Structures are given as C-alpha cells and as structure tokens.
Amino acid sequence: MLGGVRDRTIEALTKYGEKAKAVLRVALSIYDQNGESELGHFDYKTLYSELQSLGYSWDPKMILRALERDFGIIETSYKSSNQHWWKFIDAEEVRNALEEGEEDPEVKLVKIQANSLDIEGIEKRLDFMLKKPRITEVDRAMFRRIAFEDLRLAIEVYKKAEMYEETQYIANRIRRVLSLADKVSLRLNGKGNDKGLLKEKGEGQADYADGLRLLDGEDIGKKQA
C-alpha cells in the first residue's frame, strides 16, 4: 500500500464510490459519538444498524474488508464470536479525504452546532432519570432545563440535519433523545413515578417549587383554600 491514509482513502472512494463513502462517514460518526473505547472506534453491529436507518440495504462487510486489507485505512482492534471492532489508522486523515472540496458549508455548520449541543450527554441524563427508582426535585429541575433549553436548540439542529444525507445520523440521534424525553415527561406526570407533578394526597409541610407544583404531597385544593 502506497501513500498516506488520506491518499489511500481517496483511492478507496474512487474504487467503491458511495458505498465506501457511506461506510466511512457512519464509522466516523460512531467514533465521534462514542469517543475512544477499549474495544475500538466502531463495531459492525452499530455500523450496520446506522446504515440501515439511513436507507442503505446492503451489507458493509465487503467494503470493511477492502478498507482494512486492500487500503490499510482501518484495522481490527477486537474480534469475538459475536463482535467485530475496528480502529482507524488515522481518523483525521480519513475525515479530511471525505470532506476535502466537497462538504457544503451548511453541512459543516450543522455538524458544529450538533457537537455544541452535547447530544450524548443529554441522552445519558435522560436515560438516568428514566431508570432511577425515585425522581427527585433536582431531577425535575434538570428536566425543565433540558426541555426548555437543550431540546429547543436540538429541534433547530434537527430540522437542518434532516436536509442533508451527511447529517442524517445527527437527526437520528436527536430523534432518540426526543423519544427518551417523552418517556421521562410521562414519568414526571405520574406514570411510573412515585410522586408525579400533581400528586393530590399526602401529609407533611407544603412547599412550592418554581410556583408550579407542591412538595411533600399536600393537596393543591387545600393549599389554595
């Protein structure tokens, strides 16, 4: 294999066209979302699932094999009976080859805005609230910030991300976040939660939180009376 990673990536793109481009873009997006992992930068199952969600129906195994054996762009970092992980030899050189002379400034802006949102962090916080045995007032305050600040911005990015093939993975990630947020909101409203936003019965000293709900479970009608 001659030349650097960038040159070999361009050669692979020339030979395999859209398929190689799609595999490399999705693999990079998985790496960007998950960061460094002990097992590698991306795995076959996640890559295949992401490609399917983008409308690609073919199996990426042949492309992955060529990228590794013929072009030296990726290398196997972990393999077992049910998992296969790869690492990029040089992720930035691959990214440069993909973006050189072809990335629309609007596409680049969408990616920059998505990175600024910390979508992965929002997703983790929502998942944590959904799995907690008991929702606290701190959780409620955090969810309000997410709902009224983070998700508003996420929707703006989502609308732009849907417009470009290169940013479909961002739109898909935001969809998952919105689905999680919907489940958390149902829990906060009393479905699957031990208190709910408007719990009507209880004992103890009453208190208001942000002028919207009562703490300690005192009946709202009694408080207003």
Residue 186: what pLDDT? 93
Residue 189: what pLDDT? 85
Contact predicate 76/64, CB 8 Å: no
Residue by residue, pLDDT tens for the chain (225 residues) are 567 999 899 899 889 988 999 999 999 999 988 877 889 999 999 999 999 999 999 999 999 999 999 999 999 999 999 999 999 999 999 988 887 746 677 887 898 899 899 998 999 999 999 998 898 999 999 999 999 999 999 999 999 999 988 788 899 999 999 999 999 999 988 754 444 333 433 433 333 333 333 333 444 344 444
Residue 167: what pLDDT? 86
CB atoms within 10 A of CB 182: 11
Q: How far apart are CA 181 and CA 89, in angstroms?
A: 37
Residue 48: what pLDDT? 97
Residue 168: what pLDDT? 87
- Bridging pattern class, strands 84-88 and 207-209: unpaired
Residue 112: what pLDDT? 86
Q: Supply the Cα-derived Rg of the chain in whole angstroms.
A: 23
Residue 214: what pLDDT? 31
Contact predicate 29/50, CB 8 Å: yes
